[in-house]
Amino acid sequence: MKKLSIKMKLTLWFMLFMLLLSGIVFAFIRFVSASETRRNTENALIARVGENAQRVEYRDEKLIIGEDFVSYRNGVYCLVFNEDGEVRGGQVPDEALENEALREGPVRELTVDGEEYLIYDLKIDEKRRDIWIRGAVSRSGETIGSAGLFRAVFISIPLLILLAAVGGYLLAGQTLKPIRVIGKTAEEIGESGDLTRRIPMDENGDELHQLAGTFNRMFERLERNFEAEKQFTSDASHELRNPIATILAQCEYAVENASGEDELYEVIGDIERQGRRMKRLVESLLSFTRLEQRTAYASFEEIDLSALVTGVCEEQKDLPEKDITLTHRVEPGVRMRADATLIARMLTNLIRNAYRYGREGGHIEVSLSKNEDRIRIAVADDGIGIEKEDLSKIFNRFYRADKSRTYAEGSGLGLGLSMVREIAALHKGEVSVTSAPGEGSTFTVVF
């Protein structure tokens, strides 16, 4: 059996709800109508009996019924009884209504041959003699006034349900149309592999609009991941090409030309250095990719950033590079929620970058300060600086300006600053740089 579509399910549910609602409304109308009709009928009965009571009297010891006495009108019958309970005028549809004992009081019900009647007895004290006026009305007459209403309801309810079903079906189709668009677009993206495509969205901002936005963000993430994979493969193959070529060349040389143990040891040493470089490159690439894709586990906790920055600076200030001096200005008591290991790695990368491109006998200054809700870490050097055209590219993976390469041939992988940016972003921070060729650079991270 073919399963019902969501549109049909919504339509059927809408119809069932309308049927239930219509049934409740009809029952309520019937109850209210019956109660109101009963009250109106009783009032009409009492009023008719009261009017006729004014049209009878004893005159000269004789019961006189006026000509304006109404025996029957609008379903209400009336009888006149003398003090002995004998019928002296009026009419009723059944003799049993005459024989029913007279009893003054509220309107009461009487069943005669399966027919229900409302009867009302009124006693009149006329010249010390009693006169009874009895009114009677059939209960079936109560529904006469409401029959037209019920008939109209019975006719209109099915029509309303049909109109609601048609309207619900069309509305459901229009409402679910974006879902079909989402499904079709996702299927086309899956078939074509084109992750640059997006689901078209209107501007109404409803739940389906939000769903489409969620899918588009997912496609953007998939596209970034896919591009990152391609970039990782390209970067890794490019960076590994040279050490692999060197290793192969050294192996070939050793096989063909090595003449003694010393020369073999020298070749093996070169191979070991290139192998370690490859290992360091792969580990750095994997770490960077995990950071970039947010798959690396980060342990966020409240840390004493002042103590951490001071500790890193103390560790790095004795590096024997170009006789450069490292100093630090750290505001005490600065705390933030962060991964201490990643923050230390970020600061270490910035300091080593400053060493690498600093000038002989130069100076590096690390500073930490807090202003209201902003925390600022800066690493400034007086080294070679960065050309203006290179400033926007230095945070790209494996990017190294030509001048920088000249000063640091083989010493860097080109991933340090990229990792700084990713660590800062992971902590909701931003990194920026100001630099001038020959005057030095200042890298600033703001949280």
- 87: which residues sit within 8 A by CB, 6+ positions away? 79, 80, 81, 98
Residue 377 to residue 4: CA distance in whole angstroms: 61
Contact of 315 with 344, CB cutoff 8 Å: no
User: Which of 300, 296, 274 minimizes the C-alpha distance to 428?
Assistant: 300
Beta strands in 87-200 (DSSP E): 87-91, 108-112, 115-126, 129-138
Contact of 134 with 119, CB cutoff 8 Å: yes
DSSP structure class, residue 139: G
CA distances from 319 to 27, 150, 251, 352 (A): 92, 99, 34, 9
In the numeric block, which tokens belong to residue 374? 């902003």
In the numeric block, which tokens belong to residue 327? 């100093």
Rounded (to 5) percent helix, strand, coil in the chain = 55, 20, 25
Residue 220 to residue 222: CA distance in whole angstroms: 5
pTM of this structure: 0.47
Amino acid 370: pLDDT: 93
Contact of 133 with 53, CB cutoff 8 Å: yes
**Per-residue pLDDT for the chain (447 aa), expressed as one digit of tens each?**
456 666 666 777 777 777 777 777 767 766 766 677 788 888 889 999 999 998 988 887 788 888 899 999 888 999 999 888 889 999 998 888 888 899 988 999 998 888 889 999 999 886 678 889 999 998 876 544 455 556 666 677 777 777 777 777 777 777 767 777 777 877 877 777 777 777 776 666 666 677 777 878 887 878 777 776 776 677 667 667 777 777 788 787 777 776 777 777 777 887 887 787 777 667 766 766 666 665 556 678 999 999 999 999 998 887 767 788 999 999 999 999 998 888 998 898 899 889 888 888 899 999 999 998 899 999 999 989 888 888 878 887 666 664 444 333 444 556 778 888 888 988 899 999 999 888 899 999 999
**φ, ψ dihedrals at 427, nearest 5°:** -100, 20
Residue 412 to residue 418: CA distance in whole angstroms: 12
DSSP structure class, residue 395: T
Residue 344 to residue 350: CA distance in whole angstroms: 10
User: Which of 342, 346, 340 minimizes the C-alpha distance to 420?
Assistant: 346
